[in-house]
Chains A and B, each alone.
Chain A
Amino acid sequence: MKLDTSGLQSFVPLSAPIDDLCPDLSAPPTFDLPRSADFDGFQKDAIQMVKPAKGTTTLAFIFKEGVIVAADSRASMGGYISSQTVKKIIEINPYMIGTMAGGAADCQFWHRNLGIKCRLHELANKRRISVAGASKLLANILYSYRGMGLSVGTMIAGWDETGAGLYYVDSEGGRLKGTRFSVGSGSPYAYGVLDNGYRYDMSIEEAAELARRAIYHATFRDAASGGVASVYYVGPSGWKKLSGDDVGELHFRYYPVAPNPTEQEMAEVSPA
């Protein structure tokens, strides 16, 4: 039983494959479905395996100069920290980036797939795809897999002819256009700091510092977020990584430890 993946159809038909070694790129990629007696139960188990994984903090906002995108770098499996150095900001192409929240494999695969689609669009139409178009492509793909256990909570941020673009796309099939988003278990804490400090006309440094601070506060309060706070900027000339600060060090930079005044000090007693 093969899954219907006509939603994944490429735009440009290529010449027929020569042999088994080079796969037919124009045919939609197909996924084998498991042959188990209890298909729904298998689905449920698969979904439960990925479910706890939205432990993360990612945020993005549009301001006067472009888009700032920031994320932490912790991957947690239940209580165990499996990695503190996960790349959660995925570069789709030189002027568009996406954030990862949810299943790591799902996000990595579908972002790369989106990158392929965007490049094919460029080649077919001789112009870059808009952020709205790219996010719509991804949203439609995710919608066709709705209910199958994909876990993706991503923001697509980029720069196109209309200026800065920011869309939130998730595996339930939702797609929202907006100016400020935060996704993940640490998002309530990040929203608090972000909403408080946000102004449309900030400089790039101020905006980056706001994003860094918001991620730091989320990692402090949320157990499932931590590691390194990465900040990216997307402007007219594409994206640029601004900083990657270890959150453990950021804490002591923002709140330096004051030396405790000694209350009682033991002194050597001179032999009487």
Chain B
Amino acid sequence: MSIFEYNGSALVAMVGKNCFAIASDRRLGVQLQTIATDFQRIFKIHDKLYIGLSGLATDVQTLYQRLAFRHKLYQLREERDMKPETFASLVSALLYEKRFGPYFCQPVIAGLGDDNVPFICTMDCLGAKELAKDFVVSGTASESLYGACESMYKPNMEPEELFETISQALLSSIDRDCLSGWGGHVFVVTPTEVQERTLKGRMD
């Protein structure tokens, strides 16, 4: 098993009508053994910007702490929140700094930009940005997630429908992956509110 499959993870982000949703599984494992079923993979940077990190769990936590630090510095200097596009460039640069000894993480960034236009992007572990208009996926279940999202996604979904779609895509994909699952965690973010929900999934 590769280093990316050591802990196991599944992440997906989808764009809706003036909103976005980001979802992850909740398992933390050490190869085949499950250690925890409440591991947090999606972190808030500011009210309209969330980052999900998949891959090696220790790098997930360290990278999040580094990014939170950089964003707080930015807030102090510029007296405003970072735009999602700028944040994505920051993550990309931070990952490439470690080009020859990388963080074993694949981030998924989702935010609402100026005029509340939703923005999502994903990166590989070296910082290659991939912008998408519909959905991005990451983690050990990514192949299943691509298939599920491709078939279930429709553009311009309202927040409720977006929540249903992303939850179904996540749950059906992690049911085909040994290393991720044990529940789900979904954030649906609109310009006025954030809904955080825990999904009841198969615990095997």
Q: Which residue numbers of A lie inside 8 Å of B, CB to CB?
A: 55, 72, 74, 76, 78-81, 84, 185, 219-227, 247-248, 251-252, 257
Inter-chain CB contacts under 8 Å: number: 60
Nearest B-chain residue to A226, judged by Cβ: B204
| B interface, size bucket | 10 to 19
Which residues from chain A contact B29 at a C-beta distance below 8 Å?
Answer: 223
In the complex, what's the smallest C-beta–C-beta distance from B138 to chain A, in angstroms? Answer: 14
> Whole-angstrom distance between the alpha carbons of A247 and B140 in the complex?
22
In the complex, what's the smallest C-beta–C-beta distance from A247 to chain B, in angstroms? Answer: 5
Instruction: Report 12 cross-chain contacts, Cβ distance below 8 Å, ordered by A residue.
Output: A74-B178, A76-B178, A79-B1, A81-B176, A84-B175, A219-B204, A220-B34, A221-B33, A222-B34, A226-B178, A226-B204, A248-B203
Which residues from chain B contact A224 at a C-beta distance below 8 Å?
Answer: 32, 178
Q: Which of A79, A221, A257 contacts B34 (CB 8 A)?
A: A221
- Cβ-defined contact, A248 with B204, below 8 A: yes
- Cβ-defined contact, B33 with A248, below 8 A: no
> Whole-angstrom distance between the alpha carbons of A76 and B31 in the complex?
13
> Whole-angstrom distance between the alpha carbons of A185 and B32 in the complex?
8
> Whole-angstrom distance between the alpha carbons of A80 and B175 in the complex?
10
> Whole-angstrom distance between the alpha carbons of A70 and B8 in the complex?
28
Nearest B-chain residue to A186, judged by Cβ: B32
In the complex, what's the smallest C-beta–C-beta distance from B83 to chain A, in angstroms? Answer: 28
Q: Would you list which residues of chain B between 149 and 204 have a CB under 8 Å from chain A?
A: 175-179, 200-204
- Cβ-defined contact, A220 with B5, below 8 A: no
- Cβ-defined contact, A80 with B204, below 8 A: no
A81-B178 contact given A222-B32, A222-B33, A223-B8, CB 8 Å threshold: yes
> Whole-angstrom distance between the alpha carbons of A220 and B203 in the complex?
6
Q: Which of B8, B31, B200 contacts A252 (CB 8 A)?
A: B200
- Cβ-defined contact, B204 with A79, below 8 A: no
In the complex, what's the smallest C-beta–C-beta distance from A246 to chain B, in angstroms? Answer: 8
Q: Would you list which residues of chain B between 21 and 44 have a CB under 8 Å from chain A?
A: 29, 31-34
In the complex, what's the smallest C-beta–C-beta distance from B16 to chain A, in angstroms? Answer: 21
